Amino acid sequence: METGGVFDSLLSGVCVVFTLGMFSTGLTDLRHMRMTRSVDSVQFLPFLTTEVNNLGWLSYGALKGDGTLIVVNAVGAVLQTLYISAYLHYCPRKRAVLLQTATLLGVLLLGYGYFGLLVPDPEARLQQLGLFCSVFTISMYLSPLADLAKVIQTKSTQCLSFSLTIATLLTSVSWSLYGFRLRDPYIMVPNFPGILTSFIRLWLFWKYPQEQDRNYRLLQT
Looking at residue 130, what is its pLDDT?
A: 93
Looking at residue 16, what is its pLDDT?
A: 94
Stretch among 89-98, 136-145, 203-212 having the lowest mean pLDDT: 203-212
Asked whether residue 215 carries a pLDDT value surpassing 60, the answer given is no
* Amino acid in position 215: N
3-state DSSP call for residue 183?
coil
Domain boundaries, the chain: 1-207
Q: Of 18 and 113, which is predicted with more confidence?
A: 18
Distance between CA atoms of 18 and 179, rounded to whole angstroms? 15
Is residue 94 within 8 Å of residue 84, measured between CB atoms?
no
DSSP H or E run through 44: none
Asked whether residue 208 carries a pLDDT value surpassing 80, the answer given is yes
Looking at residue 40, what is its pLDDT?
A: 83
The 10s digit of each residue's pLDDT in 144-191 is 777 777 788 888 888 778 888 898 999 999 999 999 999 999 999 999
The 10s digit of each residue's pLDDT in 52-69 is 999 999 999 999 999 999
**Nearest to 83, CA basis, from 120, 49, 123:** 49
Q: Residue range 189-195: average pLDDT?
A: 93
Asked whether residue 2 carries a pLDDT value surpassing 90, the answer given is no
CA 39 to chain centre: 20
Looking at residue 221, what is its pLDDT?
A: 44
Q: What is the DSSP letter of 143?
A: T
